[in-house]
Chains A and B, each alone.
Chain A
Amino acid sequence: ETGVTQSPTHLIKTRGQQVTLRCSSQSGHNTVSWYQQALGQGPQFIFQYYREEENGRGNFPPRFSGLQFPNYSSELNVNALELDDSALYLCASSLQAGGDTDTQYFGPGTRLTVL
């Protein structure tokens, strides 16, 4: 059974640029959630995708957007990067059934640095 994978591992961008981060969910999971973890803080919920549709969003601006594909993999896109976007971005996959979401399993994360 393959766990959650994320790419790339590290990324350096400059302010104003756009970035795409990728996540492959664990086998059998249909839901992907994205979190931002700033240095020294706990992860903050960005949004969740279930069967290719956004299923909840945290307090993040619209320049944070996402996609989920038919194979349940997902992308996180961030436009107009700001210095404060520098963080570890974590993807978590889970199985949603009967209106409830099972345990979320996390990938290793993508470290984004904005200069």
Chain B
Amino acid sequence: AQSVTQLGSHVSVSEGALVLLRCNYSSSVPPYLFWYVQYPNQGLQLLLKYTSAATLVKGINGFEAEFKKSETSFHLTKPSAHMSDAAEYFCVYTNFGNEKLTFGTGTRLTIIP
């Protein structure tokens, strides 16, 4: 079955430190992969997406992710964490012609002052 696995339900980093949120996918066809962010009591905001073009994808708010087929990974990084980055992050899978998004279980990011 096509899916994504997020490693670590909770991640804490110090302000100014590197943010690394891990995601691995399972797919028998070329995947489309996304990272969405959800702030408390809000809907989902698209951070970035991969749809078979460049493997290094840059998103909003300084985030980027690299698609690595050999490792079936799509990890999210940001060089320097900011207090405003505290939120829930979801790695999301779909593929061409697929009507639905399949969400990972989410990673709650906490920023330590």
Residues of A within 8 A of B (CB): 4, 33, 35, 41-45, 48, 50, 55-56, 58, 90, 92, 99-101, 103-109
Residues of B within 8 A of A (CB): 34, 36, 42-46, 49, 90, 94, 96-106
Main secondary structure, interface of A, reads strand
Residue of B94, B96, B100 ringed by the most chain A CB atoms within 10 A? B100
> B100 and A58: CB pair below 8 A?
yes
Q: Among A50, A100, A104, A109, which residue has its beta carbon within 8 angstroms of that of B97?
A: A100
> B96 and A48: CB pair below 8 A?
no
Residues of A within 8 A of B99 (CB): 33, 48, 50, 55-56, 101
A to B CB contacts below 8 Å, 13 in the list: A41-B105, A42-B104, A42-B106, A43-B44, A43-B103, A48-B99, A90-B44, A92-B101, A99-B96, A99-B97, A101-B97, A103-B49, A107-B43
> B49 and A42: CB pair below 8 A?
no
Closest Cβ of chain A: how far from B74's Cβ, in Å?
15
A112 to B71, CA, bound (A): 40
Residues of B within 8 A of A105 (CB): 46
